[in-house]
Amino acid sequence: MTYLPFVLRPPWRQFACTASLVLAAAAAHAAGFQLNETSASGLGTAFAAGAAEAADASTLWSNVAGMARLGESQASGTLHLITPSLKFRNVGSRPATGQGLGGSGGDAGGTAPVPNVYVAKPLDNGLSIGLGVTAPWGLVTEYDDGWVGRFQAIKSSIETININPSLAWKASDRVSVGLGLNVQHMKAEFTNQVNYAGALLNAAVLGGVVPGSPAFTAIATAANRLESRARVTGSDTGYGWNAGLMFDLDDRSRIGIGYRSSVKYRLDGMARFANPAVAAPLAGLAAAVNGLALYDGRITSDVEIPAVLNLSYFTRLDDRWDLMVDAQWTQWSTVRNLTFLRADGSVLQDTPENFKNSWKLAFGANYRYNPQWTLRGGIAFDQSPVQRAFLTPRLPDGDRTWLTLGARYTISPKLAVDFGAAYIFVKKTLIDHAGGTPNLAANGLVNGYYDSRTVILSAQLNYVF
């Protein structure tokens, strides 16, 4: 058997945030790791008039200026169940040095609950105040142990919580404006296996052992298929702002603009390695590998969550029908590189991500069947920010199409319930990734494609007080 040496440095990459991260890939319903699910009322129309409709207190997220249109104190609470399916299909994958190939990883998706809560209250002089608590960014993917891409990714988990106090003002009969503050906390966890066998062989070569010699062969035999486990965790709190404008074109139609700023983080956490116990002739090599590369320590990583801009149009055609359209732009180009630094300032990992800015276009309609029931439908086309050349198993993202349905049942003038459902088709995603330096020898090659889809079910309770 031939073993390929590689440079002695941490052979685990894509271990964090942003793209690989932060990660909301499979469980994220929107492209990248964005969670567009902000209300059940909006889900029914694929969020086609999020910045213009102001259907309930959830307008606080999509366009804070919409609070000024509500006229009454409202509270809305939503629970979304997001169920992605993410299955890798192997075509030409190759094993890492000293390792077997492994399986396909099973279904890396799973069901994730995502809650939202909003409260809005009108004051005097056209002012309204509100508070929203949401989870706008996230990722959960987890492959089976022993899969072909285990040296690149096993578990990727990102969780965020955003607290958003806001103020809106009805400046005139036609114009409303709003402004909000965002306090956002993020925590992340990433795991993968490390090719310990390959690291030992590399250390042997650096120590002067000649590949193919009896000593090298003995080391290769003893080290065969040894693996370590790596786990990176980090968290931070960041701050941003949001603003909105809503303008009535006439008595039936209006436009809305909603903007959310980027949020910068410096994730602080730990890198930990579960290295295997070994005996001679590996003990000295293992000491070198553990001491120079695979050792526990603090890490930091600078991450910038992108800004988001929505432009929406809403029109009431007659007593029964509303039509709406929305264009959402996300500034994903803030995600360029993912760099992890150790406490001494040395680079633990530097990974190019090179996200591109993306668009989501949505079209929807409401139909008032009777005074109690309003029916909804929508379709959206959602661009992925991930470029194929930089696609990794942590975020195997692709362009997607949304088909949505929903309904509102008005129980009383003070109480209503919204339901929404979405089926998201993801374009077949091709992958050919070796995990970066030192590439194939350390991490193997993941070559094939992903079959992906997502189902979302949402329910929302609206109360006027």
- The string of DSSP codes covering 114-164 is EEEEEEEEE-STTEEEEEEEE--BEEEEEPPTTBTTTTT-SEEEEEEEEEE
What domain range includes position 158?
40-464
Paired with 372 in beta bridges are none
User: What's the structural domain count of the chain?
Assistant: 1
SS3 412: strand
- What's at 235, amino acid-wise? S
Query: What is the spatial distance between Cα 219 and Cα 174, in angstroms, rounded to a whole number?
Result: 78
Q: What is the DSSP string of 161-190?
A: EEEEEEEEEE-SSSEEEEEEEEEEEEEEEE
In a domain, 146, yes or no: yes
- What's the helix, strand, coil split of the chain in %, to 5? 10, 50, 35
**Cβ atoms within 10 A of the Cβ of 87, count?**
15
pLDDT at site 9: 38
**pLDDT (tens place) for every residue of the chain, 465 residues total:** 333 333 333 333 332 232 233 333 334 555 567 788 899 999 999 999 889 999 999 999 999 999 999 989 999 999 999 999 999 999 999 999 999 999 999 999 888 899 999 999 999 999 999 999 999 988 788 999 999 999 999 999 989 999 999 999 999 999 999 999 999 999 999 999 999 999 999 999 999 999 999 999 999 999 999 999 999 999 999 999 999 999 999 999 999 999 999 999 999 999 999 999 998 889 999 999 999 989 999 999 999 999 999 999 999 999 999 999 999 999 999 988 878 899 998 888 777 788 999 999 999 999 999 999 999 999 999 999 988 888 889 888 899 999 999 999 999 999 999 999 999 999 999 999 887 655 788 899 999 999 999 999 999 999 999
Calpha distance 23→158 (Å, rounded) = 6
Beta bridge partners of 149: none
- Asked if 420 and 378 touch (Cβ cutoff 8 Å), the reply is no
CATH number, position 225: 2.40.160.60
Angle at which helix 196-206 crosses helix 283-292, to 10 degrees, equals 100
Q: 260 in a domain, yes or no?
A: yes
Q: Answer yes or no: is 328 within a domain.
A: yes
Q: Is residue 18 part of a domain?
A: no
Query: Do 20 and 12 meet the contact criterion of CB atoms below 8 Å apart?
Result: no
Residues sharing a CB contact under 8 Å with residue 433, sequence separation 6 or more, in sequence order: 149, 152, 391, 392, 393, 445, 446, 447
Q: How far apart are CA 108 and CA 128, in angstroms?
A: 43
C-alpha distances in Å from residue 430, one per residue of 76, 84, 92, 106, 399: 40, 18, 12, 17, 12
Q: What is the spatial distance between Cα 180 and Cα 242, in angstroms, rounded to a whole number?
A: 5
φ, ψ dihedrals at 346, nearest 5°? -70, 150
Q: Which amino acid is present at 170?
A: K
Q: Is residue 1 part of a domain?
A: no
Query: How far apart, in whole angstroms, are the C-alpha atoms of residue 11 and residue 198?
Result: 9
Cβ-contact 310, 326 below 8 angstroms:
yes
310 domain-assigned: yes
Residues in Cβ contact with 197 at an 8 Å cutoff, skipping those fewer than 6 apart: 97, 98, 99, 220, 223, 224, 225, 226, 227
- Any domain includes 253: yes
Q: CA 462, CA 465: separation in Å to the nearest integer? A: 10
Contact 98, 223 (CB under 8 A): yes
Which of 259, 419, 387, 265 is CA-nearest to residue 329? 259
Residues 168, 178: contact at Cβ < 8 Å? Answer: yes
33/20 Cα distance (integer angstroms): 9
Residues 6+ apart with CB under 8 A from 299: 232, 234, 268, 269, 270, 271, 340, 341, 342, 343, 348
- Please report whether residue 4 resides in a domain: no
